[in-house]
Amino acid sequence: MSFTEPYDPVTGEGSDVIPRKEIKIEEFGTLHIPADMYEENGWVQILAQEKSYKNLLENHLHQRATPQLVREIDRQFFLLRIKYDFEFWAIATVTIKDKMTSVDIPFLLNKSQRKLLKLFEQQRRAGKPIRVILLKSRQWGGSTLTQIYMAWIQLVHKHQWNSVIAAHHKDSSLNIKAMYTKLLDNYPAWILNSPLKFKPFERTQNVYYIPQVSARVTIGSAEKPNSVRGSDIAMAHFSEVALYEDTPKKRTADLIASICSSIPMVPYSVIVMESTAQGVGDYFHTEYTNAKDGKSDKMPLFIPWYDIEMYQTPVDDYKQLISSFTDYERYLWKLGATLEGIAWYRDMRKTYQMEQQMKSEFPSDDVEAFANSGERVFDAYAVERMRENVKKPVWLGELQSATHAITGEDALRELSFKEDTTGLLKIWEKPDTELNVSNRYIVSVDVCKGHTKSADWSVISVIDRYWTIYGGKPEVVASWRGRVDKDILAWKSAQIAMWYNEALLIFESNTYETSQGDTEYILDQIADSYENLYARQSPPSQIKEGDPARWGFHTNRTTKPIIINNQIQLVRDNAYIEREKEALDEHDTYVVTEKGYEAKDGCHDDLLMSRAIGLYISGSIDPPKLVNKIVIRHKKPVSEASF
C-alpha cells in the first residue's frame, strides 16, 4: 500500500488488516465490514440484501421504520461491529493526544500501527493466544497501539480480564497508564451504560480497577519487580525491555517469567514485548532472535523507518535523484523505500557526523537496528550471512573407550561413539575413514577458568579442512561444550582428536599454565600418549637457555588481537562454514571495551575463541593432502612463530 492510497476506518476502505466484505447501506453508503462479521451474523446478511435499516425493519421485522427504531438498529449494528473491527472501534470511541500538536484527536491508525495490528489479529482470529515481540525504530506509536488493543479486549470482549503494564522505569509506565486514562475519560458512556473511570483497587497504590468490566490494570516497572508480580493475569505489556537493568538480585528474565507464568495459553490472552534496540546480547535481543528463528512462542515484528509516513521529502527531479543513488540507497530502494523516503533519508543523514549514529536512530532492517546500537567487533550482516549454514547436529552423544576410562592412556583405547540425547558432543560430520588425507582435522580447545554458572564453558571444536584442497572452506564438523575438571577435559579432547583420525590437537594453554596445583603437567601427560599435539616455541631468551617448546596456544595481549583480527576477516569474507547457532550468537555479542576484545557483560565467548584459535592455526600450517595412508603421526611438535 502506498502512502497516497485512501484509508478510512469508518467505512473500512483501504484496510488490509483483516478480510472485509463490501456491503451497501442507504444510511451510510458503501461499507467494508469484517468478513467474519458478515458470515457469522444472519441479520447482517439480511441487512446487506435489504440495503437499508428502513427496509430491514419493514420487510423482515414488520415494523414501521420510526426514527427511534432506526437509531436502535444503528446502535446494535455499531455494538456488533466494534467486536469485529478494531480500526472502527478506535476511530469511533478512542481519544489520544497528538504528539505533534498535543491536541486530543480520534485514534486513526497509521501504516506501521496497522502492520502491528495485523499480527495481533492474525492470532486472535485464529483462536490463538496473542504473543508478539516488537523491535521499534523511533516513535511511531507501537506502544500506543499495543495498550489500546489490550483495552479493546478488556472493554469489548472480556470481563475480569486483568492486565499488567511494565516499563523500564515508573514514569514510562505511568505515561502508558495516562493514555489509558484518557481513553476511559472520553469513552462513550452509552456503550457500557455508564461513564468509565479508573478506581484504586482496594488499598493498593499501583493497581486500578474498571468496575463496568471487572478488570484490573496493574502498573509497575523493572525498577520494582515485586510491584507487578501476581496471579490472575491475562495480558502483559512489557515496554522498552532492552532498558530493563539486570543486577545480581534482579534479572530481566526472572521478572518477565514471573509474570508470564501466570498468563494462561488461551485465546485473547496477550503478551507483548516491545523495545528499541540497545545492542546485542541482552534479554530483548536474545528473545527477538529466538522469535525470528522460530524458537519462541512470540511472533517478531520490526518496523523500518521508511514505513513511517512522516519520513518523506518531496522530490523535484526524480531522474537526478535516481542517477545519484549510492549503493546503500539502492539497497533502500530494493527494501521498499519510496523515492521520497530516500530523499528524506539523504537529507537527515547530513545532520549526523557518523553513519552509525544515523542507522542507530533510523534502522532500515532488524540486523541494522541491533548492529549499530553497540561497539560490536564482527559485522552484523556478515554474521547474519553465515547463519545460512547453521543446522541442527546430526548426532548427539559422547565418546567412550573400551575400558570406559576417562583419563590416562586407557581413555584413548578402542574409541566408539555412543549416541545420547543428553550428550554434549554435537556432530555434523563423523570422521572420514574412506579418504586418506593428511593434516585434515584440527581440534582446538578453549578451557574454562571455573565451574560457576557465570563462568565460561570449556569448548572443544573440530574443524575439517578437506575442501580447502579444492579451494573450498574449512568447516566446523563437531563441537563439545561443558564444564568438567581440567584433567578430564584434556583427556576428552585427546579422545575427540584421536577419533578424528589423530587430528592436530591445540589447547588454549593459559588456564593450564596459571592454575595452582599440578594442572600445568596435564598437557605433558597428554603428550606422552598423544603425539599430534600442538606446541608453540618459547621466546628467544628462553630458547637460548634450553627451554623446550611449550604445549598449546597462549592467548595474551599480543596474540589475542592477531587471532581476533583473523577471525574478523574470515567472518567478513564468509571464509569458513559454521554449523552451530550459539557460536554465531557469541560473534554477535563480542564487543570492544576499554579492556580490549571481550564478551558483552552476561555473555560468553568460549565457542568463538575455540574457533578463532583453531582457524588461525589452520592458516599457519601445511595444507591437507591426499596420501596413501589414513593415519598421519607428527613425531615432533608443530610450532608457531615466537610471539
Q: How many Å separate Cα 324 from the centre of its chain?
A: 35
Question: How many beta carbons lie within 10 A of that of residue 519, not counting itself?
Answer: 17
Q: Which three cell numbers stand for residue 371?
A: 548492529
Question: How many beta carbons lie within 10 A of that of residue 109, not counting itself?
Answer: 22
Would you state the pLDDT for residue 509? 83
What's the CA gap between 361 and 139, in Å, rounded? 10
By the 8 A CB rule, do 85 and 33 touch?
Answer: yes
Helix, strand, coil shares, percent, the chain, to 5:
40, 20, 40
Question: How many beta carbons lie within 10 A of that of residue 595, not counting itself?
Answer: 6
Q: Annotate 572-619 with DSSP letters as a single string.
A: HTT-SB---HHHHHHHHTEEEETTEEEEPTT---HHHHHHHHHHHHHT
Q: Which three cell numbers stand for residue 332?
A: 533502500
Would you state the pLDDT for residue 205? 77
> What is this structure's pTM?
0.72
**SS3 label, residue 558:** coil
By the 8 A CB rule, do 347 and 273 touch?
Answer: no
**SS3 label, residue 444:** strand
Using CA atoms of 424, 425, 426, 428 in order, give the dihedral in degrees to the nearest 10.
Answer: -170
| Block residue for cell numbers 571481550 | 598
Tell me the domains of the chain and their CATH numbers: 20-84 (no CATH), 89-303 (3.40.50.300), 315-370 (no CATH), 438-626 (3.30.420.240)
Residues (pLDDT < 70) of the chain are 1-5, 223-231, 372-374, 449-455, 511-520, 537-549, 628-643
Name residues whose C-beta falls within 8 Å of residue 565's C-beta, 6 or more positions apart in sequence. none
What's the CA gap between 522 and 408, in Å, rounded? 10
Mutual orientation of helices 142-152 and 170-185 as an angle, nearest 10°? 50
By the 8 A CB rule, do 473 and 494 touch?
Answer: no
Would you state the pLDDT for residue 631? 47
| Block residue for cell numbers 550428550 | 423
Question: How many beta carbons lie within 10 A of that of residue 104, not counting itself?
Answer: 12
Distance set, CA 104 to CA 18, 63, 94, 179, 376 (Å): 27, 41, 10, 11, 43
Would you state the pLDDT for residue 173? 77
Please give, one letter per residue, the 3-state secondary structure of 470-530. HCCCCEEEEEEEECCCHHHHHHHHHHHHHHCCCCEEEEECHHHHHCCCCHHHHHHHHHHHC
Would you state the pLDDT for residue 594? 75
Question: Taking the CA atoms of the chain, what radius of gyration do you get in angstroms?
Answer: 32
Task: Provide φ and ψ at 35, rounded to 5°.
Answer: -60, -40
Q: Annotate 23-89 with DSSP letters as a single string.
A: EEETTTEEEEEEHHHHHH-HHHHHHHHH-SHHHIIIIIS-----HHHHHHHHHHHHHHHHHH-HHHH
Q: Give the count of alpha carbons within 13 A of 493, CB side only.
A: 36
Please name which of 352, 359, 149 lies closest in space to residue 270, comparing C-alpha atoms.
149
By the 8 A CB rule, do 553 and 508 touch?
Answer: yes
Q: How many Å separate Cα 114 from the centre of its chain?
A: 22
By the 8 A CB rule, do 366 and 302 touch?
Answer: yes
What's the CA gap between 620 and 615, in Å, rounded? 9
What's the CA gap between 286 and 296, in Å, rounded? 10
By the 8 A CB rule, do 282 and 249 touch?
Answer: no
Q: Tell me the pairing of strands 550-551 and 416-419.
A: unpaired
